[in-house]
Structure 1
Amino acid sequence: MSLALKLALAPLLVAQALATRRRAPVLPEAEGAREGRVGEGERLALLIVGDSSAAGVGVATQEEALAGHLTRTLASEAQCRVSWQLVARSGITTAQALELVRQVRPMPAEIAVAVLGVNDVIDQVSAARAVQQRAALADWLRQAAGVRHVVFAPLPPVHRFPLLPQPLRHVMGADARAHDEAVARWAATRDDVSHVPIEWQLGPEHMAPDGFHPGEPVYRAIGEALARHIAQRLITPETGS
């Protein structure tokens, strides 16, 4: 969408955004442990960092959320014992995620998974700036937490979120695609970062009751896809890491 058209639509978009925020139910983060171990075999330390989608907003427990599906599938696919920690907070941007991990000082990990981006779009962070902030996050995780590879989940297809009215849905969806494409291009320039494109269905039946956050089917699809990427591309059978 052109800048001129976005500017022309700005009053309507602002009104729609405010009305949507007022009527959207506020869902809690998923309950349950935010660290643990699953599986048998060689140990793999995994750190999960992110926003509401990492925190499991939209489902009741972490077992149903991204962390549960990701760690169980990874342990099975890689035949390893996954020691994991989740550092996430609903509503945060990529820049705020970096501040969060700096405060928490998470456990040392070999692999980190980052689930971020929708709040960058909501806060109108430019795609270029969001990539810079992801680079800063990846660099900090490598230097401070010993992470050797950071896996970035894709932004979701915001243009299919049931909660959002048109044309807000179209505009936010276009911005989300631009952000995701920028992250993919940047990740392709580094061997210590990857961006994992994921295709998943996103009808109302797959979403949380608020029509904005993932439901359990989406968390399962994302968690399994990320786990397969890690197991098949980032872990060698000989060493388990």
Structure 2
Amino acid sequence: MSLTSLLSWALFPLYAVEGIRTRLRTPRLRPGTGPYQGRFEGGGTPVRLLVIGDSSVAGVGIGSLENGLAYQLASMLAGRTGRTVEWRAAGFNSATSNQLREVVVPNLPSQDFTHIYISVGFNDLKNFHSGPKWKKGFGELLYALKAKYPGAKVFWSCLMAPSGVPALTPGLAFVLGLRQPVINNIGKTLCEERGGQWVTSMPDIGRVHFCEDGVHASIRGNKDWAEHVVEEALAPSVLRLENQNEVDDEQDEMNRAL
């Protein structure tokens, strides 16, 4: 166990007191309503995108799921690549990695998704899950998704610094900030070992990126978050696949000609 992790456990009483105080004064916002799946028309073979995760996927605090992370990811991916994108959201408020693995994944449709984006980790962080517990929950979530959708490319974003979350008191943000590297480092390692790709956290986060409660992503936050993920990971993955398919088609034509 690292020194920073040990320090965070030593400061657990501060975390408990500040956490209760923050929860009592933070308003409860409802999940979004509207379409949880859809299709953006384009060219080529459809990209089938599953977005699974916590309150950001559930659209907490933003009214309509058309303002949510899944819809924005699909819309921007279609616009960036010109491909048809079929999307589905499976998100739930306060979901942790082990809840996604145990409850959500078994109830997902047996659809042949090509790309999966996971939004999870912040609830594991704020619930003070240990490194081994996060490793088990997130690691088994990756295994479950890869087992159910073996052809899909899987992506996960690193957590932003807790100090950037407006609702957190300085003391609470400090303690959680000591544990953030544990979540990120284990998450990166598991992605590399189990067939996923980790994405850097969104840069330049400000108050405008959060709802009135200072915790959940705002409409602007979801748009900027989606743009970052699409540009860094999803669009390059789709375009690489498209280029490889073109190479394979050309090779097939050459082989037939011979």
Q: Under a length normalisation based on structure 2, what TM-score does the superposition of the two structures give?
A: 0.85
Change (3 A) 1:54 1:174: farther
SS in structure 1 at match of 2:67: coil
Distance 2:102 2:151 in 1: 17
Shift of 1:233: 2.8
User: Structure 2 matches for 1:44-193, cutoff 5 A?
Assistant: 44-106=47-109, 107-190=111-194, 192-193=195-196
**Contact conserved, 2:4 with 2:178, CA < 8 A, in 1?**
no
Cross-structure match for 1:38: 40
Specify the code of the residue in structure 1 equivalent to 2:163: H
Distance 1:221 1:156 in 2: 14
Change (3 A) 1:147 1:33: farther
Specify the code of the residue in structure 1 equivalent to 2:170: Q
Give the total of aligned pairs.
239
Shift of 1:103: 4.0
For structure 1, which segment, 194-203 or 139-148, has the greater mean C-alpha deviation from structure 2 after superposition? Answer: 139-148
Distance 2:237 2:89 in 1: 22
Which residue of 209, 214, 231 corresponds with 1:211? 214
**Contact conserved, 1:110 with 1:146, CA < 8 A, in 2?**
no
**Contact conserved, 2:58 with 2:91, CA < 8 A, in 1?**
yes
Shift of 1:218: 1.8
5+ residue gaps, structure 1, are none
**Contact conserved, 1:207 with 1:214, CA < 8 A, in 2?**
yes
For structure 1, which segment, 205-214 or 134-143, has the greater mean C-alpha deviation from structure 2 after superposition? Answer: 134-143
Pairwise CA RMSD: 2.0
Specify the code of the residue in structure 1 equivalent to 2:186: A
Cross-structure match for 1:16: 18
The percentage of counterpart residues that share the same residue type is 25
**Contact conserved, 1:200 with 1:218, CA < 8 A, in 2?**
no
SS in structure 1 at match of 2:86: strand
Cross-structure match for 2:252: none
Distance 2:138 2:7 in 1: 28
Specify the code of the residue in structure 2 equivalent to 1:115: S
CA deviation string 1:83-129 (max 9, x = no partner): 11111100111000112323422333111110000111122212343
User: Which structure has more helix as a fraction of its residues?
Assistant: 2
SS in structure 1 at match of 2:148: helix
SS in structure 1 at match of 2:204: coil
Distance 1:19 1:90 in 2: 20
**Contact conserved, 1:58 with 1:213, CA < 8 A, in 2?**
yes
**Contact conserved, 1:94 with 1:117, CA < 8 A, in 2?**
yes
